[in-house]
Structure 1
């Protein structure tokens, strides 16, 4: 069952207009003269260009997943590629990557609410301040070139909503010369035989000495591993880079993303035991589209001055459809009981922002000054169809407007001949949200103003050892979703501390260790069992992350990581309990072998058991709304072969087995299906062919 809140004619017209622009661009690319022009990856200054060398001297916990690593793991999707990263908790809801659930260091992974997702340094949350959960995720795996995972030390430069850190996704850069990529990938679910097709095409290069263009098209369609999981995704991206001279650069990106999907939802415990691939939520579905644009001007008059002006905007429409059981005394989302109503919850977002920034280098100082303004306009409706009478009506009509201003400054001092860098910084956030209820006429306002100081230290002790420490204060303003349900809400504040180091023990062996502490003044989390938001009050998340990489020989590379996580609610009725969805132990391991044109990889992830609610319920409830979550081990394998076809043509054929051991595991339901067990994908096989020319 698929529905559309936006009229079909409007959606089609928007697609047609965008597609015609892309086709015209492709036509010009096909006839362009190529020339040498340096590739530039647009990233934020504080994180640099995300090279492996820069990551080694970053004053905080950080991992860079390169293009090779992303595609050597046999990953099913973006979530799967991130599983082995230290400190990350990944819960796969769909198996198709359209709704990621990623948490960092004990923060709630559902809808990735406590990690700030960026694409090329730009926020992609549907509402960067008041709707930080990625209930619309306009990213597809093939369009990503690398992933930068920063778990500490970034709040001053990136603002609020990064209690768990920042995940910066780098889109594919425009190449030096005109080149093209065609990829076809098919995923087959072993148990159901469902097929999911993923087609990707890219063409890009220099049109002249000053102008470079690129287009990307990613079309995905088919079914996930379960019943009621039809999915159709279209992602179109157009990039342009104009460099009139050595001092100026203008980079722009225009994207249109569209998804229509059925959601299989959660299962009752008995249904899961009978067949975890079935669906008990026949009305659950999801439609969304986003038109998104970015524009960056960079001016570098000399090596010591950089001016950058970043601008972004998006127009988005996302709607969930879901069954409800109302007026019966039962839980509205119990998957074992028939629904009495079908609800739809359309949200319309118009967001735009502007951020000028100045960087000055003089003597031992590197001073960064910046300011940002973001405007959010949100229409939030809920409509409900009563199945017995066929009556359809509007039950919620809300409108939110948010204006957020921020300013920040930092000064990196280079001391001891450059061995020691100390960066004090501070950010000021002022967020004003107005709320209007179109049904009751109620109006309200919420204003928050906070200073967010930070301090980072990086010390190159010798040629092999780098040490770091940092402390940052973070803020999460009151979220729109918190207004929709009863319970205590508020602005979240926390201090994030890190102490660690990286050692290049030998030419072939590198190791790293980080100790972390996140100290919350208030921690707001949704409790599925009571359908309310709870303020867990003072809370703490602490632990240690370890990792090692060993180049055993020219052909074999080995990697190992471990995270120990200790969380505690330190006030309220659940004082002394763990956070929900916060496993204590997390292991990751990988082996990559290369020989001539062949590559093979084997990756494994172990996650210990955890609790699904703040009350730390051990015994599972009858409807599956709460209970301990089991530990699980996932293994992926991949083998690939590169074939040189001559004339600069390269073909890669690959075969992957995802969840090789067919591990059966689950987490508790999310969002519109919060009650029951939500099964993760079983064993699947991936066949892919990619041609670069």
Structure 2
């Protein structure tokens, strides 16, 4: 394990600009957690960016991140459990498995359990407590990394209120659902604090044969504190601390249904999976410090530590679903519980740690008559995943699950993987003319990974080991030209990068691509829209293998190289809040994404051929939301979302394949109605999946699974 070591860069910069100025001349905006800022900042970015703020989230009161972000063009979803507990998000064809190909952040720092060593995001922040979601694509993503092939998703937690304020929100709904979300905080000129909890429970909508339903219990607690310099201090500075803890118990399984059983009842679950359960705990600490050293220079430091412990107790049936889909009567009988069989349930038991320190500076200066808004920074990061995964053996006898014995883990299930990374970026927004802005960005990543397997449970005997090292320079350029006050044109190119996980062999390279985009934005104050075309030329496409999304060679760990590929498409979005007479308004949002992706060169082993598709990538994605706001006590909102069917492997477009190689296309309509009893008290009724449309939205890793059925929920919110 390497210790943190920072170059003297930050100290030298501080010394170079440490000239006192009057407090009222200094930029006192010291927040560092946002990557976009606000909707006004989007117009200057050389790529696509979308911000879902607190008002947007309040329209539907969603607690599922999939529903929150599905209006964002260029973003793809692969649903799994119906609640968004462990979402699969992808951006511009980057791959959606466990959101492992995007830079996933909370409050500006990496939040996946081990973003370098094991980037699959088995932990995801509790969506119901989020205040804002930012999605960033294009050259600007090089500021964050390490995943720049698609983009970045940054989730902002509840901010410390400016004055003493609080909120209590209660919900109760179908399938035993209930939710409590509450916070209280206060601020003075120099201090601030916030205490928050979010608690979510449900019996679940999947009924398990000869057992109860798949229930959910998730609790999340958050504490924030702040110290800020006095208004008349020589230097304005701010120190924030965030402490978070959450735990979950949920009866989630990877076992789905045969197509025949799905058609009869999409919400059924086989009794052989009755013991499947996820248990996890997450804790994190984040420190943010910012200081304005002059009216044109500020320095920001963030230190973070996250720990995640999980045990997903899941049955492994060795392809029983495939056999039953093929007409094997014995396999079907085993699933139904009518035929005795022996099987194992593995403790997918893992401990993750990640920690890091990142320092960045913002410097506004002039050179040669040109205005520069320069940001540069350095990050030192380390993470680790420790797997110790025994299996419990059971026998299904007359439909009952009878414990037999325990199998100790093999070396593949008894291993430690770690990664250390040093990264640097420089991002310069240069005003070339009144209407023309050039953005130049450069990122550097230096990554070392190691894997050590053990041959015995006590870890006295080391088994095989792997190590890898890679470094890359990642440049990017962007242009924004303002045609007038309403129209602007943009174009950008940047180097896409995604590191392989710690299970990769020595010499395995990163996923690399050259990403292009160009398009136009329009904003006249009441109507705003954009249309952007994108093209990504992949020199090497890599899939991180997992049980959730196995690789083409059926591996569920390590990395698999898919080779050269091309991804191209178009994103479009338009939105407005049309004002009517007497204060009435009609909010409207429409987004559409078209994507065409294929492998462009045969793999060396011949398993993949030029023309093969990329898995879990829909061709068409569409979302529309509309509402009616009285401007007084009540408002109603509707949202409709469509996603095409998807191939579940890389060869389903060759011809001669069957329906088991595809998911199904799906339209879903959600609705919400709010009524304000007063400025402080609001009640609402929301109905997810209003028309109760269900389809096969996922087939991996073991059988067909459905989206959430129609679910009505009644809620009340009190602010004080």
- Whether the 8 Å CA contact 1:42–1:121 is kept in 2: the answer is no
- Alignment of 1:689 with 2:716, yes or no, is yes
From 181, 191, 200, give the equivalent of 1:220.
200
CA distance in 1, matches of 2:58, 2:225: 26
Query: 1:538 is paired with a residue of what secondary structure?
Result: strand
- Whether the 8 Å CA contact 1:294–1:310 is kept in 2: the answer is yes
Query: 1:676 is paired with a residue of what secondary structure?
Result: coil
CA distance in 2, matches of 1:331, 1:492: 35
CA distance in 2, matches of 1:407, 1:541: 28
Q: How far did 1:429 drift?
A: 0.8
CA distance in 2, matches of 1:264, 1:378: 22
- Alignment of 1:427 with 2:453, yes or no, is no
From 531, 534, 549, give the equivalent of 2:575.
549
Distance 1:414 1:328, change over 3 A: closer
Query: 2:636 is paired with a residue of what secondary structure?
Result: strand
- 1:304-343 C-alpha deviation (Å, 9 max, x unpaired): 0011111111121122211123699987998964661111
Q: How far did 1:106 drift?
A: 2.2
- 1:438-494 C-alpha deviation (Å, 9 max, x unpaired): 1152222111111111112222221111222222212222224678xxxx9752112
In structure 1, the residue matched to 2:535 is: 517
Q: How far did 1:151 drift?
A: 2.2
From 91, 102, 114, give the equivalent of 1:115.
102
Q: How far did 1:618 drift?
A: 8.2
Matched residues, number: 632
In structure 2, the residue matched to 1:500 is: 519
From 177, 197, 209, give the equivalent of 2:178.
197
In structure 1, the residue matched to 2:217 is: 232
Which ranges of structure 2 fall in alignment gaps of 5 or more residues?
Answer: 1-26, 208-212, 326-330, 336-340, 396-403, 456-461, 603-607
Q: How far did 1:608 drift?
A: 1.9
- 1:257-301 C-alpha deviation (Å, 9 max, x unpaired): 111111143212122112111112323221111110110110102
Normalised by the size of structure 2, how large is the TM-score?
A: 0.83
Which runs of structure 2 are paired with 1:113-512 in the superposition (5 Å)? 113-137=100-124, 139-188=125-174, 194-206=175-187, 208-227=188-207, 228-246=213-231, 247-265=236-254, 266-280=256-270, 281-325=273-317, 337=335, 340-363=343-366, 364-387=371-394, 389-395=404-410, 396-417=413-434, 419-439=435-455, 440-480=462-502, 490-504=509-523, 506-512=524-530
CA distance in 1, matches of 2:143, 2:649: 33
CA distance in 2, matches of 1:167, 1:414: 27
CA distance in 2, matches of 1:308, 1:295: 11
Query: 1:315 is paired with a residue of what secondary structure?
Result: strand
Query: 2:293 is paired with a residue of what secondary structure?
Result: strand
- Alignment of 1:613 with 2:660, yes or no, is no
Distance 1:41 1:205, change over 3 A: farther
- Whether the 8 Å CA contact 1:64–1:147 is kept in 2: the answer is yes
* The 10-residue stretch of structure 1 (541-550 or 392-401) with the greater mean CA deviation from structure 2: 392-401
- Whether the 8 Å CA contact 2:648–2:699 is kept in 1: the answer is no
CA distance in 2, matches of 1:558, 1:349: 42
- 1:233-262 C-alpha deviation (Å, 9 max, x unpaired): 110011112102351111111100111111
In structure 1, the residue matched to 2:400 is: none
Query: 2:261 is paired with a residue of what secondary structure?
Result: helix
Q: How far did 1:96 drift?
A: 2.4
Query: 1:478 is paired with a residue of what secondary structure?
Result: coil
- Whether the 8 Å CA contact 1:74–1:657 is kept in 2: the answer is no
Q: How far did 1:416 drift?
A: 0.9
CA distance in 1, matches of 2:539, 2:651: 19
* The 10-residue stretch of structure 1 (533-542 or 353-362) with the greater mean CA deviation from structure 2: 533-542
In structure 2, the residue matched to 1:577 is: 612
- Whether the 8 Å CA contact 1:95–1:224 is kept in 2: the answer is no
From 638, 649, 669, give the equivalent of 2:672.
638
Q: How far did 1:76 drift?
A: 4.9
CA distance in 2, matches of 1:162, 1:669: 28
Q: How far did 1:101 drift?
A: 1.5
Which ranges of structure 1 fall in alignment gaps of 5 or more residues?
Answer: 1-37, 189-193
Which runs of structure 2 are paired with 1:532-547 in the superposition (5 Å)? 532=555, 534-547=560-573
**TM-align CA RMSD:** 2.6
CA distance in 2, matches of 1:556, 1:329: 48
- 1:594-646 C-alpha deviation (Å, 9 max, x unpaired): 11111111111111222111111689989x8x4122211111111101121xx
CA distance in 2, matches of 1:203, 1:620: 60
